[in-house]
Amino acid sequence: MKRLLVILLAWAMPAMAQVAPPEHRRTPDQTFLTYPEWFLVHSPAEYAEYVKESTPTRFPFIGHTCQFWQGYGAVNRAIREYPFNFGYHVMVMVIGVSTSVEYVVRAAYETLLGRLSELASPRGLSEEDRYGARVAQDYVDFIRDTPWYEYDFFARLAGLWRETSLWGPDVVRKWERKYALTTEYVMKGAYGWLIKKATKAAYEEPLPVTAVVVDKVPAGLEKDLPQLRIVQKLEGDAAMVLVPRYDRFMYYAAGLAARGANFSEIAGNGKDAPILVTALVPRDWDASKYKLLFEQPILTRPQIKRVAPVVPVSELAPLLNRLAADRARLEHVYDF
């Protein structure tokens, strides 16, 4: 009986110590489980950068498919001690399988028909290629803070036919690209509509902010971090603040860290809870002083790699400052 009481107290004490109200708490395994979701932002971002100057015919779709599942494997190894998060794993499997199918189909199409149409287009990028590149970048900018299924692919389809000519130089490439982009936008638009309906029915609307406890709120944040809001003063100079979630959390976390603030709780997860970060660094970058979940090469830029350090919440600010000092390009902070 005494042992049972000790176990119950050990379970209850972390919950009692949490500052964030229940609606702002997220389970600690989500810092890892959100990585596969965010890879499906990182991958389109790499694609959008690539197609600004090149056709997509040699983009490593299969390599990105492998990287998705490699990352998910590393995530699963990291969360073995947590209770199984059935709903999140189902969601990751849905997006992983659907993206894998898409990437395999696109790889086959671009290798065959895409390269054939390139041979008939000696002048380089067609206006349809350039339109597709603009949409690819617009899509990435959108999904950094908004679910992908909210993106209006049908409006981009209308723009394709409105903004590009029917005839002109390299007509074979023009019409092949019109076909490829039309098919892509129709399929993604229809699939996104179905996913949106299913998501709205199965899940509540997520809060767009993250509750963070910091040891101090540095003065003069209004200009650079205008959306930070102090909601509760705590002991000493500490406070619970609300900052934007998703992509913007990275900028707010880095901004607070650079000004000397330290974190003791993020989304209800205390100072000892692990938190995942990814950064882009040179291939020969020395990672020996970091505890990494994994490394991945950036396939379109072999001189760059992705590193994924994991630290306790209390060490997040020093990590962000160390990465900045090491000239790493911060990619994302996975705020549960």
Please tell me the predicted confidence (pLDDT) of residue 210. Answer: 98
Q: Is the pLDDT of residue 16 over 70?
A: no
Specify the 3-state DSSP secondary structure of 223.
Answer: coil
Question: What are the extents of the domains in the chain?
Answer: 24-202, 207-334
Query: Residue 204: which pLDDT band, with cuts at 50, 70 and 90?
Result: confident
Q: Mean pLDDT over residues 120-127, rounded?
A: 85
Would you say residue 8 has pLDDT above 80? Answer: no
Kindly indicate the confidence band of residue 50, based on its pLDDT and cuts at 50, 70 and 90. very high
Supply 263's token pair: 């974190």
Residue range 10-23: mean pLDDT, rounded:
66
DSSP code for 114: I
pLDDT, averaged across the chain: 93
Please give the share of the chain, as a percent, with pLDDT higher than 70: 95
Contacts of 106 (CB under 8 A, 6+ apart): 56, 61
Residues contacting 313, CB < 8 A, separation 6+: 263, 264, 265, 266, 269, 270, 271, 272, 273, 274, 275
Measured from the Cβ of residue 309, the count of other Cβ atoms closer than 10 Å reads 20
pTM of the shown model: 0.91
- All residues at 6 or more sequence positions from 132 whose CB lies less than 8 Å from its CB, including other chains: 51, 56, 177, 181
Angle (deg, nearest 10), helices 127-143 and 153-163? 160
What pLDDT does residue 331 have? 98
What pLDDT, on the 0 to 100 scale, is given for residue 247? 97
Question: Per-residue pLDDT tens for 241-279?
Answer: 999 999 999 999 999 999 999 999 999 999 999 999 999
3-class SS of residue 330: strand
DSSP code, position 150: G
Tokens 């390599």 locate to: 63
